[in-house]
Amino acid sequence: MKKSILIYFLVSINLMANMYDIKPIQITKDVHCAIGDFNPPTKSNKGFVSNICYIDMGVSIVVLDSGPTYNFAKEFHNVIKKDYPNKKVSYVIISNYHDDRILGASYFQEIGAKIVGHKSIEKDIKDNPDNFKRLFAILDDKIMNKTKLVKMDILAESGFTIKGRNKAIKIIKPSITSEENSDIAIYSKEDSFLFVGNIVFNGRMLNYTKNSKVDGWIEAINNLAKLNAKYLLGGHGKEFDKHSYKDTIEYLKILRGDIQKAYKDGTDRENVAINISKSGYKKKNIPYLKQLNYNNINNYYNQLEWADN
């Protein structure tokens, strides 16, 4: 009886200590991924809004993106240790500079993992300092405790490879700029698995930022599709089949075609927002379609105006 009470007490303490509910899904024998909430960061999701994965390399574990906070990364590491108690995390590869992907690196760097980002990531960080204020403004000090932005240990170019016992994973820069300059994909040929970060969204509307380049984004997806990976997981959304990129590229082509035509015809931006994308895409009922579509239209329209000035 006393033993049962002790076990119950220890389990209860552990549950109370966990701030996040992290339940990775298995994609292949060696690849597991936790799927983030589809909403923007809120107090309820504690900033866990993007996907994060780990790959068993045989000799160690490689993590793909680090999550939004030090505490998230620590809990994610505890999940990994349940399956791989004797393997350390050797590398963490960051798919772009966004706060929900990079701030957990503060924990992984502390435990000795090497943090890897594309060589363009430092400029993205320098040019977008407000990106790192968002989570600190939304979440309380307890959740954000020990969270900080850390420097990359390795600034990599496309083709950078991490070798394990029976496999290698490679960083791919499929275009100069897609959503962001620092966007990369991570490819495990042996697992036929691609993690593509914010190059692909599904389950919610994508975010075309002031930094995005529509031609480069479409180019990136086309180049990644050529790899014909069996599994392709984006940075947001739970789909990971080989065709999971199709909603993203369909929307980008509609956005590009409609805005370019409207701009050429002299349609003002308010009417563009009303008339845009009358195709079947709007019928897909994707979360945040209305809000982000309007923002995407404005950002791309602005880019066309600036290009003409």
Q: What is the pLDDT of residue 203?
A: 86
pLDDT at 274: 58
Residues 6+ apart with CB under 8 A from 280: none
Amino acid at 29: K
pLDDT score recorded for residue 7: 41
Can you list the pairs that 36-45 forms with residues at least 24 positions away whose Cβ atoms lie under 8 Å? Answer: 36/100, 36/236, 38/203, 38/204, 38/236, 38/237, 38/287, 39/204, 39/287, 41/68, 41/100, 41/134, 41/135, 41/138, 41/139, 42/138, 43/138, 43/139, 43/140
pLDDT for residue 307: 85
What was the pLDDT predicted at 8? 39
Is the CB of residue 244 less than 8 Å from the CB of residue 185? no
Name the pTM for this structure: 0.92
Extract the tokens encoding 82. Answer: 């349940």
Complete domains list, the chain, with CATH: 2-245 (3.60.15.10)
Query: How far apart are the C-alpha atoms of 156 and 125, rounded to whole Å?
Result: 15
**Residue 149: its pLDDT value, please?**
97
Q: Which residues pair with 33 in a beta bridge?
A: 25, 53
Q: Give the residue ranges of the chain where pLDDT is below 70.
A: 1-16, 273-283
